[in-house]
Structure 1
Amino acid sequence: MEWLVFVPLAAVALVTAVLVIILRNPVYCALSLVGTFFALSGLYLLLHAQFIAVVQVIVYAGAIMVLFLFVVMLLDLGHELPAWLQRDRSRLLLGIGVALLLLIELVIPVGSWTARAPQGPHTSELAGTFGNTQLVGRLLFTDFLVPFEITSIILLIAIIGAMVLARR
């Protein structure tokens, strides 16, 4: 039964993620990324992570995408090809080759049954005793407080950098 929901959600996530890369218009890319976020939210619901699914929609599809669209509109990006791509297609082929090598390196360990990741201290039984929201909140504000704050500082620096670039 779960496969009937998982397969379409996974297909939507894959297609919209590829559209983010393929589309030329940055606004359409951002809207495709919103579609990816909603599909991932549905996948989180299948994993019984309701809090993460709601946060995915509110934070990423809401706030972060508004920020992305604001930066895209602020920079007023054109529709022409980048200068390096117009004069040197060999770099594009090199980039595609490196991307394929990285994809192969990703597929080989995932495809083999011998590559198993070590289990962390937070098992599904522990998550069931505390509840998803309590466990995520406790971990976010105890063990992962510094990475959480560093992420917010990086986002603030990105906003300031976009505004400085737009002023020129």
Structure 2
Amino acid sequence: MSIFYFIAFLSILFAVLVISAKNPVHSILYLILTFFTFTIQYVLLNAQFLAIVNFIVYMGAILVLFLYTLMLINLNKDAEPVKSNMVKIAAVLGGGCLMLVIIAALRQVGIAEPVVLKNPDLGLVKNLGKVLFNEFLLPFEISSLLLLSAMVGAVLLATRDKKTTA
């Protein structure tokens, strides 16, 4: 249990650093660390498939794309407009209202006991594969054909424009 609480603390810490970082590149790097701690939490909860998908899709693709895009944009502090005091006051009031709602909601929630799974093999990729390739084989194959046809169509559209200009 102590590992769970330590990783949860790191998740919250990195999430706060995401929104408090002044440099957008640092903010995205902290977001990558936040998603990495989520991946560790998924492994601790015996959800290996979610951990792998979170690691590959979010950390490997989306956030690297964000980082690459931000580095291409070349944001400067001179280009950012100065916000008026009215906008800052509205932001503080909105944040205060959100904090009050969260505190009121947390007061209604009791402390729950940890959930113990009756089936320890619940989140395994092996079981997901069995269900996917037994019960949902036809929809899985149809979706793969749709993705293949979309990829072929995109290649044809991209090459057709090059041939007509030559």
Say if 1:51 and 1:132, in contact at 8 Å, map to a contact too: no
Q: What's the CA shift for 1:58?
A: 1.0
Structure 1 unaligned residues grouped into runs of 5+: 115-122, 146-168
Structure 1 residues 26 and 135, CA, compared in 2 at 3 Å: closer, same or farther?
A: farther
Partner of 1:48 in structure 2? 46
The TM-score, its normalising length taken from structure 2, stands at: 0.62
Larger radius of gyration: 2
- What per-residue deviation string (whole Å, max 9, x for no partner) do you get for residues 67-120 of structure 1? 1112222332223695363443312322322331342354244x2369xxxxxx
**Paired residues for 1:99-110 under 5 Å:** 99-109=98-108
CA shift in 2, pair 1:53/1:125, >3 Å: closer
Give TM-score scaled by structure 1 length.
Answer: 0.62
CA distance in 2: counterparts of 1:85 and 1:64, whole angstroms: 29
| 85 and 8 in structure 1: CA distance in 2 versus 1, 3 angstrom threshold | same
Give the root-mean-square deviation of aligned CA atoms: 3.5
Alpha-carbon spacing, 1:12–1:80, altered in 2? closer, same or farther (3 Å) = farther
Match of 1:36 among 30, 34, 37: 34
Change (3 A) 1:133 1:77: farther
Cα shift at 1:34: 0.6
> Conserved in 2, the CA contact under 8 Å of 1:85 and 1:92?
no
- How far apart are 1:18 and its partner, in Å? 0.7
Alpha-carbon contact 2:49-2:123 (below 8 Å) kept = no
Counting matched residue pairs gives: 132
Change in Cα spacing, 1:135 to 1:56, as seen in structure 2 (3 Å) is farther
Structure 1 CA distance for aligned equivalents of residues 105 and 79 of structure 2: 30
Structure 1 residue 66 displacement after superposition: 1.2
In the TM superposition, 1:17-28 aligns within 5 A as: 17-28=15-26
Match of residue 69, structure 2, among 68, 71, 75? 71
Shift of the 20–132 alpha-carbon distance from structure 1 to 2, 3 Å rule, reads: farther
